[in-house]
Amino acid sequence: MIEFIADKYNFWIAIVLMMIGFYAIIAKHNLVKKVIGLNIFQTSVFLFYISISKVNGGTAPIIWHPEGHAEVVYDNPLPHVLILTAIVVSVSVTAVALGIIVKLYKNYGSIEEDEIKLIEHNEPELDSK
């Protein structure tokens, strides 16, 4: 059992992080905490991608010997490239989310989801922007 966990510890870390992030997204009412949860959630996927790119005994996918006179095993570089794109996406999502939160705070004076809903329910306002 312990070997089963220890052998694949990187996947387990990805799963644990994913659950932590998912919990934060669902359970937290603070919008910034939700964004943090989303980031943890996406980071777990990055770890998962990096894990699947690992080749036994492989090294970083940079050509050490351009002439090719040495036998070097490289990791699979493609998931690294894919995850670079996904990181860019994640950064953009975070930026947009934070921008929206700034605007929400300016309009409502709060970043708690239930407080915002309460304010909206009590004093609905049209054309406030």
Partner 1 sequence: MIDFFTTHAPVLTIVVFIFGALLAPVFGRINNSLSYYCALITTALSFVLSVYLLFSVYNNAPLEYFLGGWKPPYGIEYRVDILNSFILSVVSFVSFLSVIYGYGSIKSEIYEKRHPAFYSVYLLFIGGMMGILITNDIFNMYVFLEITSLAGYALIAMGRTRYSYMASFNYLILGSVGATFFLIGIGYLYMQTGTLNLTDLAQRLQGHFDTNVVLVAIAFIVVGLMLKMAVFPLHFWLPDAYTYSPSVISAAMAGTSTKVAAYLLIRLMYTIFGIQAGFSGINFSGIIIVIASITILAGSIIAISQTDLKKMLAFSSIGQIGYILIGTAMVNKYAFAGGLLHILNHAMMKTALFMVAGGFFYKFTSTKINDLKGMGRQMPFASAMFLILSLSMVGIPLTVGFISKWYIILGAAQSGYWIVVPVILLSSLLTAIYFGRVVHNLFFKDSEASNTGILHAKIPYSMVSSTAVLVFLCIFFGVFAYMPVEISLKAAENIIGAMPWK
Partner 2 sequence: MKDDVILRTITKFMLPFIQIFAFYTLAHGEISPGGGFQAGVIFGASFILIALVFGKNSARSKMPRNINDILLSTGDFIYAFTGLFCIFAGGLFLEYGKLPFHSAKEGNHIGMIIIELGVAITVAAVMMTIFFEIAGKEDD
HSE at residue 114, side-chain half, CA atoms within 13 A, is 3
Q: Is 104 in the site for partner 1 (CB under 8 A)?
A: yes
**Contact status: 91 vs partner 1 (CB under 8 A):** no
56 binds partner 1 (CB under 8 A): no
Nearest CA-CA partner of 41 in 19, 15, 21, 23: 21
User: What letter represents residue 1's amino acid?
Assistant: M
- Residues in contact with partner 2, shown as a per-residue x/- string from 80 to 119 under the rule CB under 8 A: ----x---x------x--xx--x-----------------
Nearer residue to partner 1 within complex by CB, 13 or 25: 25
Q: Binding string, 9-48, against partner 2, x = CB under 8 A?
A: ----------------------------------------
25 contacts which partner out of partner 1, partner 2, none, CB within 5 to 8 A by kind?
partner 1
Sequence-separated (6 or more) residues with CB below 8 Å from residue 52: 76, 79
Interaction between residue 127 and partner 1 (CB under 8 A): yes
CB burial of residue 115 (10 Å; 0-12, 13-18, 19+): middle
Rounded CA separation 105/93 (Å) = 18
Residue 19 within binding range of partner 1, rule CB under 8 A: no
Q: Quick check: 43 and 19 in contact, CB under 8 A?
A: no
**Interface contacts to partner 2, rule CB under 8 A:** 60, 62-63, 84, 88, 95, 98-99, 102
